């Protein structure tokens, strides 16, 4: 009688053990890869919608002297001057510096983005 019960218990445990082992099988890992792909897509679209590259370039290269709002830094208040400046004026100011402002070294893409951002934000 007790031997039969032991076999019954074993019969119940064995499928459970097999199922547990299956979580480490290649199929499960393949599913993990799919999850990772989906989360990469999400991260990418977040970047597209939430971070303006011009704003990012401004905060990385200009905020220290001009302030995040263009007026709270020690340097020239940007809303006072940007409406009178063209894209090529700004390009020249960033590339060569002006007065006591040093030349700012950035990639061509960053520079184009930051000029669009500065005109859109402080040019109005
Ligand atoms: C190290 C400090 C510093 C940084 C960084 C800096 N600036 Fe300036 N900026 C100044 C100073 C100082 C002046 C005033 C120059 C003067 O008239 O002598 C100035 C002036 C300006 C002017 C007005 C120029 C004019 O003709 O009156 C603009 C526009 C400008 N900065 C844009 C930027 C932008 C855009 C960035 C980022 C890409 C930037 N600055 C980064 C210090 C800085």
Which residue(s) pair with 14 in the sheet?
Answer: none
Query: How much distance in Å is there from the Cα of 122 to the middle of ligand 1?
Result: 13
Specify the pTM.
Answer: 0.71
Same-domain pairing of 30 and 85: no
Number of the ligand 1 atom closest to the C-alpha atom of 118: 35
Closest-CA residue, ligand 1 atom 6, reads 62
pLDDT digits (tens, 9 = 90+) for 76-103: 999 999 999 999 999 999 999 999 999 9
Task: Give the number of domains in the chain.
Answer: 2
Q: What percent of the chain stands above pLDDT 90?
A: 58
- Domain hosting 93: range is 53-122
pLDDT digits (tens, 9 = 90+) for 44-82: 555 456 789 999 999 999 999 999 999 999 999 999 999
Whether 116 lines ligand 1, by a CB cut-off of 6 Å, is no
DSSP state of 98: B
Query: Do 61 and 81 meet the contact criterion of CB atoms below 8 Å apart?
Result: no
Q: How far apart are CA 121 and CA 118, in angstroms?
A: 5
Same-domain pairing of 23 and 43: yes
pLDDT confidence of residue 96: 98
Same-domain pairing of 64 and 115: yes
Average pLDDT, the chain: 80
The tally of CA atoms less than 13 A away on the side-chain side of residue 73 is 18
Residue 65, domain CATH: 1.10.760.10
Same-domain pairing of 10 and 45: yes
């Amino acid at each position: 009688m007790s031997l039969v019960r032991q076999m019954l218990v074993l019969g119940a445990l064995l499928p459970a053990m097999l199922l547990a082992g299956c979580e480490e099988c290649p199929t499960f890992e393949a599913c993990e890869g799919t999850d990772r792909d989906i989360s990469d897509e999400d991260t990418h679209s977040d970047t597209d919608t939430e971070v303006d590259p011009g704003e990012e370039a401004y905060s990385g290269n200009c905020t220290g002297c001009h302030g995040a709002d263009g007026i709270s830094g020690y340097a020239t208040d940007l809303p006072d001057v940007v409406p009178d400046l063209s894209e090529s004026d700004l390009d020249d100011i960033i590339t060569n510096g002006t007065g006591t402002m040093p030349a700012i070294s950035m990639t061509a893409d960053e520079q184009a983005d930051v000029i669009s951002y500065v005109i859109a934000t402080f040019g109005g």
